Amino acid sequence: MSWGGKSNISKITHCMTRLRFELNDPSLAERTALKEIPEVLGVMDNKSTTMVVIGQAVNDVYLEVKKELDNTPNESTAASPGAIAKKVSKKAWFDQFLATISAIFTPYIPVLATSGIIKGLIDVLAKAGIMSPTSDTYLILAAAGNALIYFFPILLAFTAAQRFGSNPFIAAVIGAALMEPHITGIATTGTAINFLGINFTAMSFANTVIPILLSIWVYSYLDRWLKKNSA
């Protein structure tokens, strides 16, 4: 796989999500091979410019491509997009994973800290005998401190959908559905559930993280598929 050799690449730049190759002879670029690379989301042409859609890891790929071109000993040696993508994929995947986790959780860090302070404060006051654990004030403050953690699936659904490029309001409804009292009630009984012919044991999704993130990740692909096929 090649771009037709180093000499065929006139210029390489990138924007937020795409690598842009200005080629002397665009026909030499092996587009089919490029599209088969998992990290490549798409390939488009605009006159002499071939655009490779990478996504948020585009800067890492760009730097690796530049390094590959700079280290090519002669112009007859072809730069391999497949080799470049594989070399970058591990680092790019890890960077994307960290960026995704950060984007989903960071908005809630101040509120999480506040919740922790409230819970810690009322525990100290209760142990010091200043506030009774059965008093209305204690119970209300405890509820305020627990609210974020308990309803975390709904909040995470919103920011996860924003990160995955789907509708955050629909995602929040998905999170709310997992917290719906009837589902929560079934989960507390430990009764086996039959849904669409599938048997599974009910569980409470309150205070959980992984189930809602996986749900919104799957929803984001379904959302894109529906939009693509309904257009």
* CA-based nearest residue to 36, from 66, 6, 80, 79: 80
CA distance 69 to 12: 10
CA distance 198 to 192: 10
8 A C-beta contact, residue 49 and residue 22 = yes
Reduced 3-state DSSP string for 176-216: HHHHCHHHHHHHHHCCEEEECCEEEECCCCCCCCHHHHHHH
* 15 classed as catalytic: yes
Q: How far apart are the first and last CA of the chain?
A: 34
Contacts 24+ apart (CB under 8 A), 99-102: 99/56, 100/163
* CA-based nearest residue to 97, from 217, 218, 229, 181: 217
Active-site residue, selected from the candidate residues 10, 11, 13, 15: 15
CA distance 107 to 21: 37
Could you list the active site residues? Answer: 15
